[in-house]
Chain A
Amino acid sequence: MGAVEVLTDPSSLYEADYVGNVDVSDTDMMQYVRNALASVKTGESDRYDDLVRALQIKNVSDPDAGAQLEIVLKALSSSVACIDVIHHRKLLSSIFGMSLWDHKPYIMDALVGLLISLAVSSGKYLDSCLNMLISNFLPPSWVISKLAVANPRVVNKKTEVLSRVHEAFLKISLLFPLAPSRLFPMLAQRMPKINKKDHVIVMYVENLLKLENSVIGQVGGRMILMMVMERLRDLDLEIGWDDIPQDDSSRGMFDMELEDAAEATMDEGDELPVGSLNQDTSISDCLDKLMIKSFDHLESCQNAGRLDQVFENLFESFENFILNTYKSKVSQFLLFFACSLDPENCGVKFASKLLDIFLSSNKPRPTRQSVATLILLCLKKFRLVDECADYCRTCNNDIRPEAHQIFYSGCQAIMYVLCFRMRSILDVPRFRSQLIPLESILMHKLNPLMVCLPSVVAEFLRQAKTGGLFIVSGSYIFEDLLESELSRAFGGCERLDTFFPFDPCMLKESNRFALFQTLALFCFAVLE
Chain B
Amino acid sequence: MEGLKVSDAELIVYIHPSKCGNEVQAIYRELSSLLFQYDETFDGVLLGYDFTVESKQAKILAGLTPYFGVRVNAKLLLFDPKPNNFVEGKIVKLSAESIHVVVLGVSAAVITDIDIREEFKYKMRDGEGCFVSRSHKRHVLKIGTMLRLQVESFDQEVMHIAGSLVPANTGCVKWLEKQSREALHMDRDDHKRRKIA
Tell me if B106 counts as interface (CB < 8 A to partner A).
Answer: yes
CB < 8 Å neighbour of A178 from B21, B96, B110, B158: B158
Q: Are B97 and A175 in contact (CB under 8 A)?
A: no
Q: Are A122 and B160 in contact (CB under 8 A)?
A: yes
Q: Which residues of A are found within 8 Å of B100, using beta-carbon distances?
A: 120, 175
Tell me if A174 counts as interface (CB < 8 A to partner B).
Answer: yes
Q: Are B110 and A177 in contact (CB under 8 A)?
A: no
A418 to chain B, nearest CB (A): 35
Tell me if B107 counts as interface (CB < 8 A to partner A).
Answer: yes
A413 to chain B, nearest CB (A): 26
A210 to chain B, nearest CB (A): 24
In the assembled complex, the Cα of A120 lies from the Cα of B111 at a distance in Å of 11
CB < 8 Å neighbour of A117 from B18, B98, B108, B158: B98
Q: Are B92 and A121 in contact (CB under 8 A)?
A: no
A188 to chain B, nearest CB (A): 17
CB-CB under 8 A for A122 and B97, given A81-B114, A177-B108, A178-B108? no
Tell me if B157 counts as interface (CB < 8 A to partner A).
Answer: yes
Q: Which residues of A are found within 8 Å of B113, using beta-carbon distances?
A: 81
Chain A 90-129, CB within 8 Å of chain B: the 1/0 string?
0000000000000000000000000001001111101000
- Chain B: CB-nearest residue to A79: B97
Q: Are B106 and A178 in contact (CB under 8 A)?
A: yes
Q: Are A120 and B108 in contact (CB under 8 A)?
A: yes
In the assembled complex, the Cα of A85 lies from the Cα of B161 at a distance in Å of 17
B69 to chain A, nearest CB (A): 20
Tell me if A431 counts as interface (CB < 8 A to partner B).
Answer: no
Tell me if B105 counts as interface (CB < 8 A to partner A).
Answer: yes
A78 to chain B, nearest CB (A): 5
A336 to chain B, nearest CB (A): 29
In the assembled complex, the Cα of A362 lies from the Cα of B158 at a distance in Å of 38
Tell me if B117 counts as interface (CB < 8 A to partner A).
Answer: no
Q: Which residues of A are found within 8 Å of B97, using beta-carbon distances?
A: 30, 78-81
Q: Which residues of A are found within 8 Å of B98, using beta-carbon distances?
A: 80-81, 117, 121
Q: Are A176 and B160 in contact (CB under 8 A)?
A: yes
CB < 8 Å neighbour of B106 from A80, A124, A177: A177
Q: Are A175 and B108 in contact (CB under 8 A)?
A: yes
In the assembled complex, the Cα of A81 lies from the Cα of B102 at a distance in Å of 18
- Chain A: CB-nearest residue to B93: A175
Q: Are A178 and B159 in contact (CB under 8 A)?
A: yes
Q: Which residues of A are found within 8 Å of B158, using beta-carbon distances?
A: 123, 126, 176, 178, 182
Q: Which residues of A are found within 8 Å of B36, using beta-carbon distances?
A: 178, 181
Q: Are A174 and B92 in contact (CB under 8 A)?
A: yes
Q: Which residues of chain B from 140 to 194 have any CB-CB distance to chain A below 8 Å in the complex?
A: 155, 157-160, 162
- Chain B: CB-nearest residue to A181: B36
Tell me if B133 counts as interface (CB < 8 A to partner A).
Answer: no
In the assembled complex, the Cα of A133 lies from the Cα of B159 at a distance in Å of 21
Number of A residues, CB within 8 Å of B: 20
In the assembled complex, the Cα of A122 lies from the Cα of B152 at a distance in Å of 12
- Chain B: CB-nearest residue to A26: B96
Q: Which residues of B are found within 8 Å of A362, using beta-carbon distances?
A: 18, 21
Q: Which residues of B are found within 8 Å of A123, using beta-carbon distances?
A: 155, 157-160
CB-CB under 8 A for A124 and B155, given A175-B102, A362-B21? yes
Number of B residues, CB within 8 Å of A: 25
B34 to chain A, nearest CB (A): 13
- Chain A: CB-nearest residue to B102: A177
Tell me if B73 counts as interface (CB < 8 A to partner A).
Answer: no
Q: Are A175 and B92 in contact (CB under 8 A)?
A: yes
In this complex, the member of B18, B36, B106, B158 whose beta carbon has the largest number of chain A beta carbons within 10 angstroms is B158
In the assembled complex, the Cα of A80 lies from the Cα of B162 at a distance in Å of 13
Q: Are B18 and A122 in contact (CB under 8 A)?
A: no
In the assembled complex, the Cα of A122 lies from the Cα of B106 at a distance in Å of 15
In the assembled complex, the Cα of A362 lies from the Cα of B21 at a distance in Å of 10
In the assembled complex, the Cα of A182 lies from the Cα of B157 at a distance in Å of 10
Q: Which residues of B are found within 8 Å of A122, using beta-carbon distances?
A: 110, 155, 160, 162
Tell me if B112 counts as interface (CB < 8 A to partner A).
Answer: yes
CB < 8 Å neighbour of A121 from B18, B105, B106, B112: B112
- Chain A: CB-nearest residue to B21: A362
A417 to chain B, nearest CB (A): 31
Q: Which residues of chain B from 80 to 104 have any CB-CB distance to chain A below 8 Å in the complex?
A: 92-93, 95-98, 100, 102
Q: Are A81 and B108 in contact (CB under 8 A)?
A: no
Q: Which residues of B are found within 8 Å of A175, using beta-carbon distances?
A: 92-93, 100, 102, 108
In this complex, the member of B36, B97, B105, B155 whose beta carbon has the largest number of chain A beta carbons within 10 angstroms is B97
Q: Which residues of B are found within 8 Å of A81, using beta-carbon distances?
A: 97-98, 112-114
Q: Which residues of A are found within 8 Å of B95, using beta-carbon distances?
A: 78
In the assembled complex, the Cα of A175 lies from the Cα of B97 at a distance in Å of 15
In the assembled complex, the Cα of A135 lies from the Cα of B96 at a distance in Å of 31
Q: Which residues of B are found within 8 Å of A120, using beta-carbon distances?
A: 100, 108, 110
- Chain A: CB-nearest residue to B157: A123
Q: Which residues of B are found within 8 Å of A79, using beta-carbon distances?
A: 97
Q: Which residues of B are found within 8 Å of A178, using beta-carbon distances?
A: 36, 106-108, 158-159
- Chain A: CB-nearest residue to B106: A177
In the assembled complex, the Cα of A121 lies from the Cα of B21 at a distance in Å of 47
Q: Which residues of A are found within 8 Å of B18, using beta-carbon distances?
A: 362
B84 to chain A, nearest CB (A): 19
- Chain B: CB-nearest residue to A363: B18
In the assembled complex, the Cα of A314 lies from the Cα of B145 at a distance in Å of 39
A304 to chain B, nearest CB (A): 25
- Chain A: CB-nearest residue to B105: A177
Q: Which residues of A are found within 8 Å of B155, using beta-carbon distances?
A: 122-124
Q: Nearest 9 pairs between A and B by C-beta?
A: A123-B155, A81-B112, A123-B160, A123-B158, A176-B108, A78-B97, A175-B100, A177-B106, A178-B159
Residues of A that sit less than 8 Å from B by CB: 30, 78-81, 117, 120-124, 126, 174-178, 181-182, 362
Q: Can you list 18 pairs linking A and B with CB atoms under 8 Å apart?
A: A78-B95, A79-B97, A80-B112, A81-B98, A81-B112, A117-B98, A120-B100, A120-B108, A120-B110, A122-B162, A124-B155, A174-B93, A175-B93, A175-B100, A176-B108, A177-B107, A178-B108, A362-B21
Known: A123-B160, A362-B18. 8 other contacts (CB 8 A): A81-B97, A81-B114, A126-B160, A177-B105, A177-B106, A177-B159, A178-B158, A181-B36
Residues of B that sit less than 8 Å from A by CB: 18, 21, 36, 92-93, 95-98, 100, 102, 105-108, 110, 112-114, 155, 157-160, 162
